[in-house]
Amino acid sequence: MRLAGLWLAGWAVLAQAQTWVVKDVVRVDGSSASLAQMLESPAPAALVRALEARPLVTGMRAGESRVVARQQLQAAWHAAQPDWSLPESLRAPERVVVTRNGGAPAGPEMARMGEAALRERLAGACAQLDIRPEAMAKPPQLPAQGVRLAPRVPAAPALAGKMAVWLDAFEGGALYGSWPVWYAVRCLRPVYRAIREIDKGEPLSTANAAAEMADATIGRPLAAWRGAVAARRLAEGSVLQEADAAPAPLVRKGNQVMARLNSGPIRMEIRAEALSDGAEGQVVYARRGQGQPAFKARVVSDGVVEVL
């Protein structure tokens, strides 16, 4: 009778034992997944905490799927199961496919944020600015929640017909990824066009060029011509570029200049002949007279050089 009682008691315990069934397909919102999220029925809080402390999958990106083998499930189960008063068992499939949910493709929102940042950075550079986002070849799919986008634009971006803005995505303070968004840019602002042929060295003025509105993203148009001369022969109708202009020389070859010599307490000024043209800050050669040795000097103002 005693043995029969023990057998009946054991049978009652086994009858009350819980068998936990693992799903073969699981979808999660976060970047990690534990066995607790793969069980078909809710588990006790203590067991959930123990399983969640041992995630089986980490670092998943939105829309990504991972496979968890049965051996991994069983190992996590035995490692996390506390000392239950009733025996617990796990029924797991050969493998579990875990997929992280993803939100809508982020291309439209990234294009909008990038355009706003680019417009702000180019404000004041153009009289009229036209920015059109180009379609992303593969728009990223970001997590549905908890992601912050931050546009990244250089402090002084080079104006061009095609410009990029990088969008950084952060999840929980960590960088999730970075993607460039490209834009077609048209920047209308005043440029200068030659109204006749301009000789090399000729001062640039309203006598040989006129201002008009044009797309400044084509080439590098000259922004201002005050104190500039033509760096080369320019054809009629050409838009003046930065490379077409040079600082007007303050010293001309063959002209007399005032040469200043500073050596400690000694300060001297002598008349000399310039042997080359030079703009402010440029180094030229000069000499005191015919047959005299040449010396180097830096142009400091109109007709004045400083001996080096």
For residue 59, give the CATH number of its domain.
3.10.129.70
* Residue 9 belongs to some domain of the structure: no
The position carrying tokens 């005299």 is 292
By percentage, how much of the chain surpasses pLDDT 70?
92
Of 67, 100, 133, which closes a domain?
A: 100
HSE toward the beta carbon, residue 151, CA cutoff 13 A: 20
Q: Which of 187, 216, 237 is the last residue of a domain?
A: 187
Per-residue pLDDT, 156: 82
Q: What is the pLDDT of residue 145?
A: 82
Higher pLDDT, 276 or 227: 276
pTM for the model:
0.61
Same domain for 150 and 209, yes or no, is: no
pLDDT digits (tens, 9 = 90+) for 23-43: 999 999 989 999 999 999 998
The C-alpha atoms of residue 99 and residue 145 are separated, in whole angstroms, by: 16
45-52 and 70-80 are packed helices; what angle lies between their axes, rounded to 10 degrees? 120
> Is 218 within 8 Å of 237 (Cβ atoms)?
no
- Written as six digits, the tokens of 282 are 């440029």
pLDDT on residue 85: 43
Which range marks the domain in which residue 267 is found?
Answer: 256-307
Contact 65, 98 (CB under 8 A): yes
Number of domains in the chain: 4
Task: Place 109 in a pLDDT band, splitting at 50, 70 and 90.
Answer: very high
Identify whether 219 is part of a domain.
Answer: yes
The pLDDT of 265-289, averaged and rounded, is: 90
Within this chain, do residues 86 and 113 fall inside the same structural domain, yes or no? no
Q: How far apart are CA 276 and CA 165, in angstroms?
A: 47
Return the sign of the alpha-carbon dihedral for residues 211, 239, 158, 156: negative
Helices (H) and strands (E) in the chain, counts: 4, 17
Q: What is the mean pLDDT of the chain?
A: 87
Least confident piece of the model among 11-20, 226-235, 250-259: 11-20
- Among 187, 213, 234, the domain-final residue is 187
Residue 98 CA to residue 94 CA, distance in Å, equals 13
Is there a contact between 119 and 41 (Cβ–Cβ < 8 Å)? no
* Burial class for 177, CB neighbours closer than 10 Å (0-12, 13-18, 19+): middle
